[in-house]
Structure 1
Amino acid sequence: MEKRIQDKLASLGKRCKKETPPFFKKLRTAGIVLAAIGTSILAAPIALPALAVTIGGYLILGGSVITAVSQTAVVEADCEE
């Protein structure tokens, strides 16, 4: 069982190191920007309404998920079955 988990982690590592298609590079950049905007909202030195803080948290969550998923996308020819 532990061997299969290690194989999956190694496969994910190899996948992240391969070339990312151009569309997913743009999507990854957009995710990073969203996460940065959310972080700047949460780290603001002034007191913000609860709605703004909630929106900032969702921006961080969405941006980080978009970035992670986009990083693992590879060209179909590079996939190993």
Structure 2
Amino acid sequence: MNIIERYKQPTPKFFRTLRNIGIAMATAGGAIVAAPISLPAIVISIGIYMTVAGTVATAVSQAVVEGDDTV
């Protein structure tokens, strides 16, 4: 199964929830990084980490599929 076929398969409920949390984290982190006001460096760093973690969680959760257990 290639990556395009994998992304078209149904995603289990737990991973759909995890994907939605990842999307929210990436959005919140992006908003912190792009804030038009001056923020402390630690807040910007947290925003960057949230964006990366959310993006990775979303991509990995979307790639998990229901189906046969063949490797």
| Pair in the same fold by TM > 0.5 | yes
Letter in 1 for 2:23: I
Q: Which has the higher helix share?
A: 1
Per the alignment, residue 7 of structure 1 pairs with: none
- Backbone CA RMSD of aligned residues: 1.4
Per the alignment, residue 28 of structure 1 pairs with: 19
Q: Scaled by the length of structure 2, what TM-score is found?
A: 0.92
Partners of 1:25 and 1:69 lie apart in 2 by 11
Which protein shows a greater Rg?
1
Per the alignment, residue 39 of structure 1 pairs with: 30
> What are the ranges of 5 or more consecutive residues in structure 1 without an aligned counterpart?
1-9
Per the alignment, residue 52 of structure 1 pairs with: 43
Percent of aligned positions that are identical: 44
Q: Matched residue pairs, number?
A: 71
Higher RCO, 1 vs 2 (CA within 8 Å, ≥6 residues apart)? 2
> What are the ranges of 5 or more consecutive residues in structure 2 without an aligned counterpart?
none
